[in-house]
Structure 1
Amino acid sequence: MSRHSFDPEIAARVGLNAAVIFQNIVFWIEKNQANRRNFRDGRYWTYNSITAFGELFPYLSEKQIRTALEKLVTASLIIKGNFSDDRYDRTCWYAMGNSICPNGQIDPTKRENDAFAPEGKPSAPEGKSYKNRYKPYKKPYPSHAKEAAVEDEISEKILSAYPEDRIRGKAVCMSQIRQATADGVDAQNLLLAVQAYARESEGFTRSKVCFSDNWFTSGRWLKYLHEVERQR
């Protein structure tokens, strides 16, 4: 059973509901930072739809969740963005706000913070200077690139098992799959879970089959994953 917590100081600023949601956002941003995922515009991000937040916090209404997020944005505790490749995808992305992280993120990791020097100095490697320190390094570490390629191949395989005509928001789906496997979900079990849903929904009318981005972000795959794990 999941446990929800909050920082009393944050609760004093924005209320209990917003403090609980803030703690969840911080958890995922820190996890993404540790795994070097979702780095955009000099910050680490996490994302969720209002529906997905509703699944995580069933004791809060959609209105309460929206109000809590608005309070966090207004208080500069978080900032909001949208980096989806699908222009119809309204899933919001969240990063730490300047009132928590004046420099734009929690703590720069070694990979983002190594070997910086004033622009034009010989000690500043290509693409890395104070001026453009938050731009992606043009020469990624080969081992990391190889690992990312393998992850993408696995994620593609899992996503391709979903009902083809209901796949939407590929970038969101791929990120959710990578996040699940990074959290310890067995990739083969997740593949079997997707295949189980595909088989179950074969007889459904298309309007009854969930779009893939909603299916992954709302955690509906967990039901099928648990059944696969139980059977195996």
Structure 2
Amino acid sequence: MIEYHFRAELATEYGVDGAIFLHCMAFWTAKNRANGRHFHEGRYWTYNTMKALTELFPFWSRRQIERIVAGLKEAKALLTGNFSEDKTDRTLWYALGDQVLEVYGEGASPISPNGEMDFTEPCTPFPQTVKCNKETVTYQLDNNPCSPLSEKPKKKRAPKSIPTWKPERFEAFWKFYPRHEDRVSAVREWDRLQPDGALIDTIARALKWQVRAEDWPVPYACRYLRNQRWLDEPTPKTGRAAAPPRPQARQLTGWHTEVIDGEEVMVPDG
């Protein structure tokens, strides 16, 4: 009997069926990374025929699997390709998109520290041979507009690059933040957090010393917001003491430009 697992955040984003499929792909790409094989175009891949996938997921039909793959591709959560040595072999190869790799710790091995992706014997997941099996896929997945299936299908929302909550304050934060990667995820976390003026001022004060500390590891902006990294305290290595609490009467209201170490940067008022 095979046990199926998924990450809750992926289920929220791509539906339960999409999260289950991505979790299995993550397991096999991590296994290939550990074995140092199937590395193409800057990432690790796994391959399987549609017949093998229907055997692995007996509760889905072939058409359902094609819809799940098409929806994940449309959301850029899953990549497909063909790296078979035999150019007539149309077996699809699969790799995780950048946003999914980030959920799994940017693709770092292992996928789960608790080993929750182990499959129960005697079943063997993902029948995979040394040479790809030849199978003609009759459906063009790129042209399939279907989104990932779930128990209750939901309309797929397009990723946002501009937040709904205080967009002008987010733009000031994003401009000042030293790592400009994965803006869509940062926008999502900003809208979830919905920081008020006082919290934005707290973030600004923290960033003021953090960006100047040579030993401060700069996380993605989305992780900074999600993990409340403004609560970090200076380490002895920085040589900076934690700033004393400021009177409640003094509230920072915005950002302005200063020249620091010969470079013009945005800093919070105050």
Give TM-score scaled by structure 1 length.
Answer: 0.45
Give TM-score scaled by structure 2 length.
Answer: 0.39
Please identify the structure whose Cα radius of gyration is greater: 2
**Which protein has greater RCO, CA pairs closer than 8 Å, 6+ apart?**
2
Decide which structure has greater helix share. 1
